[in-house]
Amino acid sequence: MELLKERIRRDGKVKGTDVLKVDSFLNHQMDIKLFAEIGREFKRRFADCQINKILTIEASGIGIACITAQYFDCPVIFAKKSQTKNIAGEVYTAKVESFTHGRVYDIIVAKEFLGHGDRVLIIDDFLANGAALMGLSKLVEDAGATLVGAGIVIEKAFQPGGDMIRARGIRLESLARVKSMNEETGVEFVD
């Protein structure tokens, strides 16, 4: 998506070799006109997939998922991150290991919101190691729902998540795929 790549080139800030800060338009201050174009593009790519639920994870995925859902005319569920040790009852749970933050947390979704017959699109802002996406796909599987695919705004293609997800046969649509990053020269995209 050229508009997005241009914005990343212009306003993204590279930290070291593997962190891309996009706080000014994506995950702190949010450019809603850009989000509308992102949502339109996800709709174009997943048109005719009969998606009836969008699933994301708190916090940064929520805004993008909500704008995208307007194009699909469906609800958004966001998985909650939980520190609670004993989660019982009517929830699906998965463990997510955050390599960036060096910790493991549980994600949960109430069973009443996801089940057989649902056709789910996962939406998130970043794909790095793929741990969050794997956790979300497990929730969909445990619910007996169909995972139609995953829409990612920025895939860091030099990290293992994208290849791992594709190898599992999950349809992955990333709007910007970063090949490499450098504080001096900026961001290079895959295509």
- Chain residues binding ligand G4P by CB under 6 A are 19-22, 27, 57, 59-60, 98-101, 125-132, 156, 161
Directed axis angle between helix 32-45 and helix 2-11, to 10°?
Answer: 140
Q: How far is the CB of 12 from ligand G4P (least distance, A)?
A: 9
Min dist CB 98 to ligand G4P, Å, is: 4
CA end-to-end span of the chain? 10
Residues 98, 131 contacting (CB under 8 angstroms): yes
User: How far is residue 30's CA from residue 86's CA, in Å, rounded to a whole number?
Assistant: 35
CB nearer ligand G4P, residue 12 or residue 39: 12
Pairing verdict, β 19-21 and 13-15: antiparallel
Tell me which residue of 113, 103, 123 sits closest to 46, measured CA to CA.
Answer: 123
Q: Minimum distance from CB of 47 to ligand G4P (Å)?
A: 26
Nearest to 63 by CA among 94, 43, 34, 93: 34
Q: Which CB sits closer to ligand G4P, 23 or 47?
A: 23
Q: Work out how close the CB of 119 gets to ligand G4P at its nearest, in angstroms, rounded to a whole number.
A: 23
Residue pair 74/53 in contact (Cβ under 8 Å)? The answer is yes
In the complex with ligand G4P, which residue's Cβ is closer, 91 or 157?
A: 157
Q: In this complex, which beta carbon is closest to ligand G4P, that of residue 39 or of residue 130?
A: 130
* For ligand G4P, the closer CB: 19 or 47: 19
User: Least distance from C-beta 113 to ligand G4P, angstroms?
Assistant: 20
